[in-house]
Chain A
């Protein structure tokens, strides 16, 4: 026997609809969590990544015993968290003797692990070690510039993978309209060697250049660190194909009342609604007037009202 279960109130319904699969996805949420053991550096890295992603990230601060993303069976609770929080990117930090300051950046598809990149963090410089003009400090949720430098990102398989994961992580929400005055930060990733990436976060200073394009200047605001690529796992081919599907040519919504003319170009139609002069509030009929007074006025001048009624019926 089955029973139809529907939400009891619109708030719950909206919340469920938010989580439903969409034709066009605009952004991914990030889940930041850690294993049983973390170092001080790693704690800082995780918190600061959370600060960078604030607004579209969730930080779990408890120790997680049974998360081992690369091992089979170690992803169950991770997938559960992904389902629970509706996050499709996760950053998992752990430290061990074999892999000190380990960071796993992974993505999920339909709340199952899609791919994984494991990096070690080195030469970490936290946010508060940078001194700069606080007016330049990036605002939460603004769209960042992302720069990748180095041929390693194209030639080396691991770095190529890391680049894709970083783009997904850093790009923020996909938007159509962008306010140029709101551009205030940039991420710079440089492939230093075949397995090392230098990552830094900069604020932008827009200087006048005489043209419409301002001259850009980067001011390091941190955090900055080195990623040393360790293990990585690419998605299997069929899953990749499935996940890369996009909504085919969305049916364009018909624009009403706008047409094209060969000579005049764009032509729009405007419908002016009936002005309804009869319904307009006259000063002697205003609601503010006391009822007795209003009625007295009506009594004195009943002809006006009657005539109007007739008119309406005629229409």
Chain B
């Protein structure tokens, strides 16, 4: 900071400080105080302007532009200084061996097609997908797909590179020099040692678990406080009734009766009568009528009917009738 008639001026911040000013006696009224402050302020602003307007300036359309010197007032940073990235394992190795990085062209001459092609990326040179023939070698094992082998090898190389990258990033994360756009996210808790990523629960699954938890008290959750937004459990009470299997009279014999009834129906001579033929025939007739009506309408509109449309109702009919039969059977049980 330089002083110019007892003012400290920091041109980088357009800041001026008069450290010698002292109020001999506090001004009696507010207006006087404001007035004096403005006067002092004007002097300071003038002091900054004196130096600012004397800086070399370049003319621009919007006005003269000056280059400010860096600020001299020391202020704290808002974040730490960026830490230097540690060298990767390859960089260390290359340095040890004296391997120099050499720039490669983006495009390469492709002899197969006789054109220039990208080294990497879309439509790249020597792409696995572009190789139509792989010549057999003496060392080839019979029964092995060379194309699949190539793909497998590439996958392995990519996986290895990914592993190396992760290793280097971990190293960088240790010293806090991870690139700003990269995050290392834990896929599983290290304590459990599981390799698979933890399963994500859906909303419904969580709701189910919450429902179970809410109804696991002695009273089935009847007297518990409801959490805001909690819904009533969906399936409450008994779903199935089981009759006693112990033989006896009255209710004890009912279980046997029920099973007997079903068995009798199945083993009877006329078991085929379980299918209600009358009902099936009516359903068939209704379907046919409907189909004819549809056909008629279609013919009126345009005289061509697509084959697929012809097929469709037939299919439905078959399905329906089959279903009917099965449902009937179910009822009989």
- Listed in ascending order, the chain A residues whose CB lies under 8 Å from chain B are 1-7, 12-13, 16-17, 19-23, 25, 28, 88, 107-110, 114, 123, 143-151, 153-154, 163-164, 167-168, 171, 174-183, 186, 188, 190, 192-193, 198, 200, 202, 204, 212-218, 220, 224, 235, 240, 242-247
Inter-chain contacts of B33 with A (CB < 8 A): 192, 198
Separation of A49 and B81 alpha carbons in the complex (Å): 29
Q: Are B187 and A147 in contact (CB under 8 A)?
A: no
Inter-chain contacts of B40 with A (CB < 8 A): 147, 149, 188, 190
Inter-chain contacts of A182 with B (CB < 8 A): 62-63
- Listed in ascending order, the chain B residues whose CB lies under 8 Å from chain A are 12-23, 26, 30, 33-34, 37-38, 40-42, 44-46, 48-50, 52-54, 57, 60, 62-68, 71, 73-82, 162, 165-166, 169-170, 180-188, 190, 195, 197
| 16 examples of A-B residue contacts, CB within 8 angstroms | A1-B187, A1-B188, A4-B166, A5-B185, A21-B81, A145-B48, A147-B44, A154-B19, A167-B75, A176-B67, A193-B26, A200-B34, A216-B46, A218-B45, A243-B76, A243-B77
Inter-chain contacts of A171 with B (CB < 8 A): 13-15, 71
- Name the 6 nearest CB pairs between A and B, nearest first: A181-B63, A20-B180, A88-B78, A243-B76, A188-B41, A21-B79
Nearest CB of B to A189, in Å? 9
Inter-chain contacts of B165 with A (CB < 8 A): 4
Nearest CB of B to A179, in Å? 5
Q: Are B12 and A174 in contact (CB under 8 A)?
A: yes
Nearest CB of B to A36, in Å? 23
Separation of A178 and B185 alpha carbons in the complex (Å): 44
Separation of A110 and B77 alpha carbons in the complex (Å): 9
Separation of A302 and B48 alpha carbons in the complex (Å): 72
Q: Are A5 and B182 in contact (CB under 8 A)?
A: yes
B21, B54, B183, B185: which contacts A213 (Cβ < 8 A)?
Answer: B54
A16, A110, A177, A178: which contacts B180 (Cβ < 8 A)?
Answer: A16
Inter-chain contacts of A167 with B (CB < 8 A): 13, 15, 73, 75
Separation of A180 and B52 alpha carbons in the complex (Å): 8
Q: Are A145 and B16 in contact (CB under 8 A)?
A: yes
Inter-chain contacts of A143 with B (CB < 8 A): 14
Q: A146-B16, A147-B41 are in contact. Are A1 and B190 (CB under 8 A)?
A: yes
Nearest CB of A to B174, in Å? 12
Nearest CB of B to A269, in Å? 23
Q: Are B78 and A145 in contact (CB under 8 A)?
A: no
B19, B52, B66, B190: which contacts A177 (Cβ < 8 A)?
Answer: B66
Q: Are B76 and A6 in contact (CB under 8 A)?
A: no
A3, A179, A190: which contacts B185 (Cβ < 8 A)?
Answer: A3
Inter-chain contacts of B74 with A (CB < 8 A): 244
Output the nearest chain A residue to B194 by Cβ-Cβ distance.
A1
Q: A147-B41, A148-B17 are in contact. Are A123 and B75 (CB under 8 A)?
A: no
Nearest CB of B to A168, in Å? 5
Inter-chain contacts of B52 with A (CB < 8 A): 178, 180, 183
Inter-chain contacts of B75 with A (CB < 8 A): 164, 167-168
Q: A-B contact count, CB below 8 Å? A: 216
Q: Are A6 and B181 in contact (CB under 8 A)?
A: yes
Inter-chain contacts of B30 with A (CB < 8 A): 123
Separation of A23 and B23 alpha carbons in the complex (Å): 43
Q: Are A175 and B68 in contact (CB under 8 A)?
A: yes
Q: Are A4 and B63 in contact (CB under 8 A)?
A: no
Q: Are B13 and A146 in contact (CB under 8 A)?
A: yes
Q: Are A110 and B80 in contact (CB under 8 A)?
A: yes
Output the nearest chain B residue to A181 by Cβ-Cβ distance.
B63
- Interface centre among B42, B169, B185, by most chain A C-beta atoms within 10 angstroms, is B42
Inter-chain contacts of A179 with B (CB < 8 A): 60, 62-65
Separation of A242 and B79 alpha carbons in the complex (Å): 10
Q: Are B82 and A21 in contact (CB under 8 A)?
A: yes
Nearest CB of B to A226, in Å? 10
Q: Are B17 and A240 in contact (CB under 8 A)?
A: no
Separation of A190 and B35 alpha carbons in the complex (Å): 12
Separation of A181 and B58 alpha carbons in the complex (Å): 12
Nearest CB of A to B194, in Å? 8
Inter-chain contacts of B18 with A (CB < 8 A): 147-150
Q: A22-B79, A171-B15, A190-B37 are in contact. Are A149 and B21 (CB under 8 A)?
A: yes
Inter-chain contacts of A243 with B (CB < 8 A): 76-77
Separation of A310 and B134 alpha carbons in the complex (Å): 39
Separation of A213 and B170 alpha carbons in the complex (Å): 58
B15, B49, B80, B197: which contacts A21 (Cβ < 8 A)?
Answer: B80
Inter-chain contacts of B81 with A (CB < 8 A): 21, 23, 245, 247
Inter-chain contacts of B78 with A (CB < 8 A): 25, 28, 88, 107-109
Separation of A179 and B64 alpha carbons in the complex (Å): 6
Output the nearest chain A residue to B19 by Cβ-Cβ distance.
A154
Inter-chain contacts of A183 with B (CB < 8 A): 49, 52
B26, B80, B185: which contacts A2 (Cβ < 8 A)?
Answer: B185
Separation of A147 and B13 alpha carbons in the complex (Å): 11
- Interface centre among B12, B41, B54, by most chain A C-beta atoms within 10 angstroms, is B41
Q: Are A151 and B16 in contact (CB under 8 A)?
A: no
Output the nearest chain B residue to A182 by Cβ-Cβ distance.
B63
Q: Are B186 and A151 in contact (CB under 8 A)?
A: no
Q: Are B180 and A17 in contact (CB under 8 A)?
A: yes
Inter-chain contacts of A19 with B (CB < 8 A): 180
Separation of A266 and B42 alpha carbons in the complex (Å): 41
A20-B180, A179-B60 known; 5 new pairs, CB 8 Å cut-off, are A4-B184, A5-B183, A109-B76, A149-B17, A179-B63
Q: A150-B21, A151-B20, A164-B75 are in contact. Are A2 and B63 (CB under 8 A)?
A: no
- Interface centre among B60, B81, B82, B187, by most chain A C-beta atoms within 10 angstroms, is B81
Q: Are B68 and A177 in contact (CB under 8 A)?
A: yes
Nearest CB of A to B188, in Å? 5
Inter-chain contacts of B77 with A (CB < 8 A): 25, 109, 243-246
Nearest CB of A to B7, in Å? 9
Q: Are A216 and B42 in contact (CB under 8 A)?
A: yes
